[in-house]
A and B are shown apart, each in its own frame.
Chain A
Amino acid sequence: MKPGTIVAAALLIILAALPLLTQAFDQRYLLSVGTRIVIWSIAAVSLNMILGYGGLVSFGHAAFFGIGGYAVGILSAEGIQSGWVQWPVALGASILWAALVGALSLRTRGVYFIMITLAFAQLVYYLASGLAGYGGDDGLNISRSRFSGLIDLRDKATFYWLCFALLCATLWFCGRLANSRFGYVLRGAKSNELRMMALGFPVFRYRLVACIIAGAFGGLAGILLANEGAYVSPAMMSWVKSGDLIVIVVLGGIGTLFGPLYGAIAFFALEEMLKPLLDLVHKGWGEYWQIVFGPLLVLVALYARGGMASLLKARG
């Protein structure tokens, strides 16, 4: 087996057993970090579908956190607690949003694409801030989605395993997608868009569908994020979160299946470790953990172009 496969398999096994491990070592806080890592991984994998395989640098992917989350939140606030209603509505809203943003932004290229996706995400952000009836800037406390009798999301371990299963499904789908006819068209268009058009591929249509797929999985992550904290707020879709998602994908390895997972783990692990470490050096410095994180990113950009996934490959 290739070292990359071994590392990925080991990571998945550890993640699968995480609730048991945190219980055994009585580190319940770690389970909540783990849940967030898994949810963010779903979002990062979905961003990687368009950014990594499609070469489309979307700077507005956190909008799907918000749309998925707020769909759940608003329905919950209106008294509809059933996940059977909330989740399909949230996914439908994410798909619609992805179709709208994709249809308009895919007419632009390069830096304009980045800016227009950012602009659309900001639009949703300010819209959510303006929803005074749903908490405005302060956000909204919600109760978790109910799947009566089937699964209780209030149980931390159960919820974690649900998220983990959905991450596995997302990874499975993304892996199949990457090597499907569709995936090859998407990757071909990243390599040479004009050539693909000259070959007879309506590239725009394929990219739009890719955006919609990525948006649906992004929305799924949003649903889970809202349920994780029992809370939604505009902050979950600020442009900083969109940037974090890009950082995770780049750090882990653009266009690799497990890269986004590595990136998410590294991102949150560094955040959790650097904060107390810096606080140890000097009280209060922990808040500025990104001063250390930033240069680390620069090193990755300079010396590990393919991200963490490429390091594993190089060893083999």
Chain B
Amino acid sequence: MSEPLLSTDRLVKRFGGLLATDNVTIDVRPGEIHALIGPNGAGKTTLVGQLTGNLTPDSGTIHFAGRDVTRLPADARVRLGLGRSFQITSVLREFSALENVALAMQAHDGHSFRFLADVRKNTARTDAARRGLAAVGLEPRATAAAAALSHGEQRQLEIAMALAGAPKLLLLDEPMAGMGAEESQRMVELLRGLKRQCGMLLIEHDMDAVFALADRITVLVYGRVLASGAPDAIRADPEVRQAYLGEETG
């Protein structure tokens, strides 16, 4: 088994009396899609927050790419190769789709304390961003303002931004949220195509997408890992069926 890319060790996060993350130990290996599922309030968002660096765990550790990143700020983790997409679409609305990707790439391309050279004349920068857009099938919309893109297109744009700087791992927080069946299908294919490039931790409610994509699934309930394993094993797990998949699979 290859060395995991991302691993947590007995992560704990409390909000007052609420144990939102209860001794969570999970890992993601290179080139793997690891899906994290669980009912609302299971603590998925809290866990993601700790992985990205927006929340600090009360105890436990997070290792990424062979480093302890538990105390590392969010932007530094991104520069180490931890890309993410947001549960609620978050793009730079006033900027063009192309400029969104160009800025995402710029974050990985050295510091930006350069005050005089005009970025619009930097064709290498623009070309790279255009390739980034093409990778998610958004190239025709390059000059459109991000705010003018459809919901599905904005989600695609998010993926393109998360892919900038060639991350080792993508944290995808409900990438299918709010999408129609057709858009979801397109996103599934997009993610499947990206699998060779990087590992993914996929948080998703759309079970069709999860079972179509995941190599491993971890079920989170009340902040605790209820079960973890291959999709078939999870599907067959009686505890999981009762706690979570129950009403769907009967």
Which A positions have Cβ atoms within 8 angstroms of B?
Answer: 173, 176-177, 179-185, 187-188, 191-192, 194-203, 206, 209, 213
Contacts and interface: CB of A to CB of B under 8 A. Distances in A.
B23 interface: no
A199 B103 contact: yes
Contacts, number: 91
B205 interface: no
B144 to A, nearest CB: 15
21 contacts: A173-B116, A176-B115, A176-B116, A179-B118, A180-B114, A180-B115, A180-B118, A182-B113, A183-B115, A185-B106, A191-B94, A192-B90, A192-B91, A194-B90, A195-B86, A195-B92, A196-B107, A199-B103, A199-B164, A200-B78, A201-B75
Contacts of A181: 106, 112-114, 117, 119
Closest 8 CB pairs of A and B: A200-B78, A200-B107, A181-B112, A199-B107, A191-B92, A181-B114, A176-B116, A200-B79
A206 B112 contact: yes
Interface of B: 52, 73-76, 78-79, 84, 86, 90-95, 99, 103-104, 106-108, 112-120, 161, 164-165
A310 B118 CA distance: 23
A189 to B, nearest CB: 9
Given A198-B90, A199-B78, A182 B115 contact: yes
Nearest to A172: B116
B92 A209 contact: no
Per DSSP, chain A at the interface is helix
Contacts of A173: 115-116
Contacts of B90: 192, 194-195, 198
Given A173-B115, A181-B117, A188-B92, 9 more contacts: A179-B119, A182-B112, A184-B112, A187-B95, A191-B92, A197-B75, A198-B78, A198-B90, A209-B113
Nearest to A206: B112
Contacts of B73: 202
Given A191-B95, A200-B79, A184 B86 contact: no
A12 B149 CA distance: 40
B75 A200 contact: yes
Contacts of B92: 188, 191-192, 195-196
